[in-house]
């Protein structure tokens, strides 16, 4: 099953992905997480990606699609993937449809998390992220350990560089102009499940599972 977890920055894609991927028994593939891993390791790709990410802009489509192609070539990804943050532009979407279609595969469902812009800013500026395992916290709604370490792995928890208010506003513009139009292109191809992303994390999870009939 190839499923897209769609929604604006801060809508809860990363928060919901692990449980959903495990329930569907498919790997969670988040292009943002893969770029951040390259950033931490100081690779050439990481350096290139940083110059876009720090400004809240999309990394170029060709670079991103190459990255996804190699991830889809790994053994665990052949029969299904939960995509988080990909595709994020209409060219990326058509690349993915073509890439899967070339081997008789297709997209099965889109989960579209809906959260209003005014809530998003508070969610993202309050977000903290583990430097080691990538677990996501929020200073108010889901705090890490009291000493500022990750409750999952014990590593330091920090604020993402692109989570400042200025950059978030640019990310929201990129979402509206480049990412949101994907939904219109998907409408006649793939079932889109609109899910209210506001409320408790467990409540949102329940709505996602319900929408997918899980
Ligand atoms: P990426 O890492 O994908 O960021 P994003 O899409 O902007 O989404 P976020 O990770 O910010 O939000 P999320 O929906 O995962 O929310 P989360 O669960 O963390 O991309 C970063 C950058 O990489 C891009 O700007 C771009 O430069 C580049 N990039 C990545 N993919 C690309 C691509 N395909 N093409 C080109 N460039 C690409 O939740 C947010 C906060 O809210 C957390 O603190 C969480 O604890 C809290 N929260 C979650 N759920 C709830 C709830 N129900 N109630 C209260 N708080 C909640
Ligand atoms: Mg995320
Ligand atoms: Zn951790």
Query: Does residue 145 fall inside a structural domain?
Result: no
Query: Does residue 88 fall inside a structural domain?
Result: yes
Query: Does residue 26 fall inside a structural domain?
Result: yes
Query: What is the CA(9)–ligand 2 centre distance, in A?
Result: 7
Containing structural domain, residue 191: 2-115+176-211
Q: Are 32 and 85 in contact (CB under 8 A)?
A: yes
How big is the CA angle at 31 (ends 162 and 202), to the nearest 5 degrees?
80
Please tell me what DSSP assigns to residue 131. T
Q: Is the CB of 177 under 6 A from ligand 1?
A: no
Q: Whose CA is nearest to atom 8 of ligand 1?
A: 9
Over 90: is that where the pLDDT of 21 sits?
A: yes
CA-nearest of 9, 161, 16, 138 to 85 is 9
Q: Is the CB of 155 under 6 A from ligand 1?
A: no
Grouping H, G, I as helix, E, B as strand and the rest as coil, residue 35 is helix
Q: Which ligand is nearest to the CA of 149?
A: 3
CATH code at position 52: 3.40.50.300
82-119 pLDDT, tens digit per residue, is: 999 999 999 999 999 999 999 999 999 999 999 998 89
pLDDT-based confidence at residue 212 (cuts at 50, 70, 90): very high
Q: Return the active site residues.
A: 13, 88, 127, 160, 171
Domain count, the chain: 1
Query: Does residue 52 fall inside a structural domain?
Result: yes
Q: Hey, which of 12, 159, 178 would you mutate to test ligand 1's pocket, going by the most ligand atoms within 8 Å of its Cβ?
A: 12
Average pLDDT over residues 181-192: 97
What Cα–Cα distance (Å) separates residue 71 from each residue in 13, 29, 67, 81?
Answer: 19, 8, 6, 10
**What is the model's pLDDT at position 86?**
98
Query: Does residue 89 fall inside a structural domain?
Result: yes
Name the H helices within the chain: 13-24, 31-41, 44-53, 61-72, 90-101, 117-125, 165-174, 181-186, 201-211
How big is the CA angle at 193 (ends 190 and 198), to the nearest 5 degrees?
150
Q: Which residues of 125-163 are buried (b: 16+ CB within 10 A; e: fewer)?
A: ebbbbbeeebbbbbeeeeebeeeebbeeeeeebeeeebb
Query: Does residue 152 fall inside a structural domain?
Result: no
Over 90: is that where the pLDDT of 138 sits?
A: yes
Tokens matching residue 147: 């000493």
pLDDT-based confidence at residue 189 (cuts at 50, 70, 90): very high
Region of residue 183 (left: phi > 0; alpha: psi -120 to 50; beta: else)? alpha
CA distance 16 to 14: 6
- In percent, the amount of the chain with pLDDT more than 70 equals 100
**What is the model's pLDDT at position 117?**
87
Average pLDDT, the chain: 96
- In percent, the amount of the chain with pLDDT more than 90 equals 94
Phi then psi for residue 101, to 5 deg, are: -60, -30
Q: Are 106 and 79 in contact (CB under 8 A)?
A: no
Q: Which ligand is nearest to the CA of 134?
A: 3
**What is the model's pLDDT at position 133?**
87
pTM: 0.95
pLDDT-based confidence at residue 72 (cuts at 50, 70, 90): very high
Q: Hey, which of 8, 15, 54, 173 would you mutate to test ligand 1's pocket, going by the most ligand atoms within 8 Å of its Cβ?
A: 15
Over 90: is that where the pLDDT of 134 sits?
A: no
């Amino acid at each position: 099953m190839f499923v897209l977890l769609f929604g604006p920055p801060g809508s809860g894609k990363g928060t919901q992905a692990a449980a959903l991927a495990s329930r569907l028994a498919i790997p969670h593939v988040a292009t943002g997480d893969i770029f951040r891993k390259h950033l931490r390791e100081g690779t050439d790709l990481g350096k290139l990606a940083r110059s876009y990410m720090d400004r809240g802009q999309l990394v170029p489509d060709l670079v991103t699609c190459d990255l996804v192609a190699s991830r889809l070539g790994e053994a665990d990804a052949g029969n299904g993937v939960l995509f988080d943050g990909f595709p994020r532009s209409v060219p990326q979407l058509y690349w993915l449809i073509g890439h899967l279609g070339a081997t008789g595969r297709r997209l099965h469902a889109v989960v579209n998390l809906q959260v209003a812009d005014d809530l998003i800013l508070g969610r993202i500026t309050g977000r903290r992220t583990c430097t080691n395992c990538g677990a996501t916290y929020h200073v108010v709604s889901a705090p890490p350990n009291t000493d500022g370490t990750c409750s999952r792995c014990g590593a330091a928890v920090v604020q993402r560089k692109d989570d400042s208010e200025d950059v978030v506003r640019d990310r929201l513009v990129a979402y509206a102009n480049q990412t949101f139009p994907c939904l219109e292109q998907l409408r006649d191809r793939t079932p889109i499940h609109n899910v209210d992303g506001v409320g408790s994390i467990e409540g949102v999870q329940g709505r996602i599972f319900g929408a997918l009939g899980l």
